[in-house]
Structure 1
Amino acid sequence: MGKGNARRGSTLVASVEDETLLLAQVVISSYDAVITKTSEGIITTWNQGAERIYGYTGNEAVGQPISFLLPPGHRDEVPGILQRIKAGELIHHYETVRRRKDGRVIDVSLSVSPIKDKKGKIFGAATIARDISSDVAARRQSEEQLAAASQYARSLIESSLDPLVTISADGKITDVNEATMKVTGIPRDRLIGTDFSNYFTEPEKAREGYQQVFAKGFVTDYPLTIRHKKGGLTDVLYNASVYKDTGGEVRGVFAAARDVTEQKQASQYARSLIESSLDPLVTISADGKITDVNEATIRVTGIPRDKLIGTDFSNYFTEPEKAREGYQQVFAKGFVTDYPLTIRHRKGALTDVLYNASVYKDTQGKVIGVFAAARDVTERKRVEAELAEQRQRELDRLAELEKFQKLTVGRELKMVELKKDIEELRRENENLRRMAVG
């Protein structure tokens, strides 16, 4: 019994010794620096990894205070670390710098843990140090590149005359440019974190706009009106799209607003000119659908604007096919002049018109529709008909006069002949009388 216990004890001792030797070998051959030191920071062991990283041999380092590795400006690190170790704290992946024997300062990552005796009392510290100079250099380069890219992006954003804004998934503003501050009259720090929709005349419409972007990925030419803090209004068209992180996750919305106030004013001016025209005016798409009308068109057809727009232009004429051929000629030739048609009012009244029409184009020169103006010639046709009737009456009267003249002339000729005959008879009678006397 006693011999068995003795054998187990000796086996346990051997096992512990083997494990200790194994651990020692691991420490010695570790690629990382493994250093032990006293509670006061005096180096007690120094492995091959430490020699490789710091350039000092074990003989040079052991017995030195650990602070001899610290470059100027970092000497106060050691007391703080030792204090934390004495308190039983473990320190993981603490990034700092150390100075090698050749004077070069390197970036290191430290993991420090307390060393305890059999009774659990802390009497020193073990440090594992890894040279991360390459990683830090790469990271710094990446950060510098990122900062440069960020600065470049920022300069592009700030150089834009259009208000630009980024919006989070919950509708909060996360960034703005100078143009946004100008158009709202509110500084950046007051805008960031607030609801995007707060700065428009139609907040609900603004909210629907950015929600569409999150749902579809983008919106184009979304109309809104920005309200300045002092009350001024700016009409804009928003173009927006989602932006993503490196993992492809949607992070938010990037939105750019184009100021169309002047364009809208010009459009309103053009609209007023169109509406002031007494002639029916209409725009027609390539497929023959009405895209806009003026008040005169509404009056001549008896149909409201919203019922006209989107319907076939040719539907409102007595000769639909001729109307269709008319606008097709415009798309083919670019224009038509004095094209005759008759508009039918919904109550049956007819209006004769002459259409003058031409194509209109977008800013790139692409034909997008036909603009047509109808001149009401109903009255002119009535007058022309009356004139024609009067002319016919005059012609008929002239014919009668000519006939009468012919009769009169004939009668006069007969009178002349009769006079001649009477004169001839008188002469013959005189001759006979003379002969009788003789």
Structure 2
Amino acid sequence: MLWDRPAQRERGFSLPTNPFARRSKMAGPRELAMQAKVMESERRRVKSRGSLDADIIIANAPDPVFVSDLEGKILQANDAVSQLLGFRQDEVLEQSLARFISPEETREFRAALREVVERGVMRNVVLNPRSAGGEVIPTSLNASALRDPDGRAIGVIGILRDMRELDKARAYAESLIKNAPDPVFVSDLEGKILQANDAVFALLGFRPDELIEQSLSRIISSAETREFLAALREVVERGVTRNARLNPRSASGEGIPTTLNASALHDTDGKVIGAIGILRDMRELDKARAYAESLIKNAPDPVFVSDLEGKILQANDAVSALLGFRPDEVLEQSLSRFISPEETREFTAALREVVERGVTRNARLNPRSASGEGIPTTLNASALRDGDGRVIGALGILRDMRELDKAKAYAESLIKNAPDPVFVSDLEGKILQANDAVFALLGFRADELIEQSLSRIISPAEARAFLAALREVVERGVTRNAHLNPRSASGEVIPTTLNASALRDPDGKVIGAIGILRDMREYEQVVRDLEKSKGELQEKILDLEKFEEVVVGRELKMIALEKELESLRKVVGRSKGDSV
């Protein structure tokens, strides 16, 4: 049985109490026999139900789950095990787990089985089973005891966890730490440094062996050690700490002003086991500011810096070139001078978004140039922070949309005036735009199609095929000759083929599809006419063949008749000769 009595009790299942328990001492032989039958019947019923429930749970578990005996023979495994290893069920069941793991891991697994017998559970045993393709798959095993009705351990229920993605994530995290430009380190909850990247050693001037496995208190003051431990407690409680001040001593004895931002390091069960800390060398802040100003000044796009009220503090030459104002006509001016009151409110809302989220994207602004022209632009802005990380303004990048708007207008004109039915849809199949040829083909008005799902006019099966075609557009940029049979306003099913290409936003991300429909009715009529003509030709060919048979038959009869006449002539000739 897969469901033992203790487990039933834990999950709310328990055997019914004996209804005759209080009278058992007074019961006679027949009554005792009746008691035994009732109890045995109830036992079987509850055990059967428990076993069925357990089988269902194992079969439908999302993780790979198996049941083995105490020798490691696999008695049961769900589909997730087969998917993980690539073996069929019959290649897994009744096989020893030793078939899939190394001899050393087999010994470890058997030791783990003994642990299950003794303690009832084991956790995070590392196994690396080989898949059907020969791949070694890193997994961790958690197992609990499988018990018979008497509570004796007779096997284990094991849950495997595929560690490939986790190992990749760890390797990726380690790579991020190693290659991060900032000084990054990992410490335990006592402040012992477990890992540090090259930027830490470059900052402090120590070799790795002088820092790794050392307490951070070695290079900071006693007061800062207390502050750092308090910051670690904050990491445990809140998951993060920000801008803690540390002044570690370098190998040369220099006190280096830094700020520390740290986040929690969790184990696989989500428990905080340490912290990932990023140090910021504050000596470089002024250099960074100068560098940032240089980037702004020399950026090819129009870039400006404003405070949280929208006053322009800095702007590069590209801003002046875009708007036609001199720098002194822009700096220290409110952006509201160049945009409408409504857009001023939108820009103020965008600044609030920058404060809350750190960034705002594609806000529409139409600043007026020195000549009075309204210039369509999009604004992407990120937060400008002080040394304590507090948002004090915004760094905005304007994008001149005039050329893009022209391109969009040109594209819309192409769609509108195309002779073929052309439509634009989003990635869910909602029709955003369609030309007159679409309305002429289907017989719908514009308001009956625009903003409607294409699934409204095609069958469910074709809707699935169309969504699959959209996925192909996202992956490959194009799909060709997909068959669609949309229903027209009159209910006619119109055979068409669809060719579609990707519709992209200014960042190149696929946001929809441009589809061209081809009306296949005439083509199919031509095919039908050809088939009909083919049939008629075949009938004529048969008639000709019959006629040919008749003609040939007549010719053969004439030849035979001529031969017969010739033979008679010869006989007559011989008769005349004999008479002479």
User: Given the alignment of the two structures, is residue 211 of structure 1 paired with residue 354 of structure 2, yes or no?
Assistant: no
Tell me which residue corresponds to 1:345: 488
Deviations 1:262-296 (A, max 9, x none): 33333434444444432334455555555655554
C-alpha distance in structure 2 between counterparts of 1:163 and 1:416, whole Å = 103
Residue 321 of structure 2 aligns to a residue whose secondary structure is: helix
C-alpha distance in structure 1 between counterparts of 2:391 and 2:406, whole Å = 37
Tell me which residue corresponds to 2:525: 382
Tell me which residue corresponds to 2:338: 199
Tell me which residue corresponds to 1:41: none
User: Given the alignment of the two structures, is residue 184 of structure 1 paired with residue 316 of structure 2, yes or no?
Assistant: no
Q: Is the 8 A contact 2:310 2:334 kept in 1?
A: yes
User: Please, which of 539, 552, 556 is the counterpart of residue 396 of structure 1?
Assistant: 539
Q: Is the 8 A contact 1:301 1:316 kept in 2?
A: no
Give the stretch that moved more between structures: 279-288 or 145-154. 145-154
Q: TM-score, normalised by structure 1?
A: 0.51
Higher relative contact order (CA 8 A, sep 6+): 1
- Which runs of 5 or more residues in structure 2 are unaligned? 1-283
Tell me which residue corresponds to 1:163: 302
Q: How many residues align?
A: 293
- Which runs of 5 or more residues in structure 1 are unaligned? 1-144
C-alpha distance in structure 2 between counterparts of 1:362 and 1:303, whole Å = 29
Q: Name the CA shift for 1:347/1:205 in 2 (closer, same or farther; >3 Å).
A: farther
C-alpha distance in structure 1 between counterparts of 2:341 and 2:573, whole Å = 127
Tell me which residue corresponds to 2:550: 407
C-alpha distance in structure 1 between counterparts of 2:482 and 2:319, whole Å = 51
Residue 226 of structure 1 aligns to a residue whose secondary structure is: coil
C-alpha distance in structure 1 between counterparts of 2:569 and 2:288, whole Å = 136
Residue 348 of structure 1 aligns to a residue whose secondary structure is: coil
Residue 481 of structure 2 aligns to a residue whose secondary structure is: strand
Structure having the higher Rg: 1
Q: Name the CA shift for 1:421/1:240 in 2 (closer, same or farther; >3 Å).
A: same
Q: TM-score, normalised by structure 2?
A: 0.40
Tell me which residue corresponds to 1:264: 405
Partner letter of residue 381 of structure 2?
A: A
Residue 227 of structure 1 aligns to a residue whose secondary structure is: coil
Tell me which residue corresponds to 2:129: none
C-alpha distance in structure 1 between counterparts of 2:445 and 2:366, whole Å = 28
Q: Is the 8 A contact 2:496 2:520 kept in 1?
A: yes
Deviations 1:240-277 (A, max 9, x none): 24556678876554433122333333343444444443
Residue 344 of structure 1 aligns to a residue whose secondary structure is: coil
- Displacement of 1:208: 1.7
C-alpha distance in structure 2 between counterparts of 1:146 and 1:352, whole Å = 66
CA RMSD of aligned residues (A): 4.6
C-alpha distance in structure 1 between counterparts of 2:562 and 2:411, whole Å = 85
Q: Is the 8 A contact 1:181 1:187 kept in 2?
A: yes
C-alpha distance in structure 1 between counterparts of 2:365 and 2:547, whole Å = 83
Question: Taking every aligned residue pair, what percent have the same amino acid on both sides?
Answer: 30
Q: Name the CA shift for 1:333/1:214 in 2 (closer, same or farther; >3 Å).
A: closer
Partner letter of residue 321 of structure 2?
A: K
Q: How does 1:271-420 map to 2 (within 5 A)?
A: 271-282=412-423, 287-290=428-431, 293-302=434-443, 312-317=453-458, 320=462, 321-328=464-471, 335-357=478-500, 370-418=513-561, 420=563
C-alpha distance in structure 2 between counterparts of 1:196 and 1:367, whole Å = 33
